[in-house]
Amino acid sequence: MTTTKQTTYGPTAIMTPANAITVGRLLLTPYFIYLFIHEGATWLTAVIGAIVAFSDGIDGVVARRQGATRSGAFLDPLIDKVVIMGCFIAVASEGKLPWLPIIIIGVREVAMTVYRSVVAKDGISIPARQSAKWKTFVQDFAIAFVCLPPTANLHWLHVATVWAAAVLTVTTFAQYIVDGRRLATT
């Protein structure tokens, strides 16, 4: 019986399969945005959007199997924010989603990035919460419902989902602030 050796990467590695998937997600996003703006809610737009969304989970699985890296820990959340905000802005600019919840989400994402950077200077690393994964899931669905042909004309669903995403986004930010303060006092 032959076994294959699993490749692992140390914390300082940069060129890893997980990082390649993360960067691929970033590179595929402009194509998704282009399709949405020029073609609207089509199955091709939905499939490309699904690839962008699901690749976020895949890079995490690959990273856990092959070893998490500092570059991945930095790149993944940064690219997540760029991707989700780029998609939200494109969808809102086409009049498919209201701007206010997207602005709330954007402000939270910038504030969270700044907050993590500030506490990192004190050696504090705030681990991801399960609620943040749900937040991302709902954000993805807010975009997906606009792009899927069967739900493309259900404006009430688009609005309800993006507002649910905004509420979860603010809630997770408050949770991270509490987590950061707790870690600072231990």
The tens digit of pLDDT for each residue in 137-148 reads 999 999 999 999
Query: What is the pLDDT confidence band of residue 155, given thresholds at 50, 70 and 90?
Result: very high
**Token pair in block for residue 19:** 């990082």
What's residue 180's pLDDT?
A: 86
Query: What is the pLDDT confidence band of residue 61, given thresholds at 50, 70 and 90?
Result: confident
State the average pLDDT for the chain.
89
* 11, pLDDT greater than 70: no
Q: How many residues does the chain have?
A: 186
What's residue 73's pLDDT?
A: 77
* 5, pLDDT greater than 60: no
**Token pair in block for residue 149:** 């042909």
Query: What is the pLDDT confidence band of residue 129, given thresholds at 50, 70 and 90?
Result: confident
* 101, pLDDT greater than 90: yes
* 125, pLDDT greater than 60: yes
What's residue 148's pLDDT?
A: 96
What's residue 3's pLDDT?
A: 52
* 1, pLDDT greater than 60: no
What's residue 57's pLDDT?
A: 85
**Which CATH superfamily is 17-185 part of?**
CDP-alcohol phosphotransferase transmembrane (TM) domain (1.20.120.1760)
CA–CA distance, 181 with 177 (Å, rounded to integer):
6
**95-101, long-range: CB < 8 A, 24+ apart:** 96/146, 96/155, 96/158, 97/142, 97/146, 97/158, 97/159, 97/162, 98/159, 98/162, 101/162, 101/163, 101/165, 101/166
CA–CA distance, 147 with 141 (Å, rounded to integer):
10
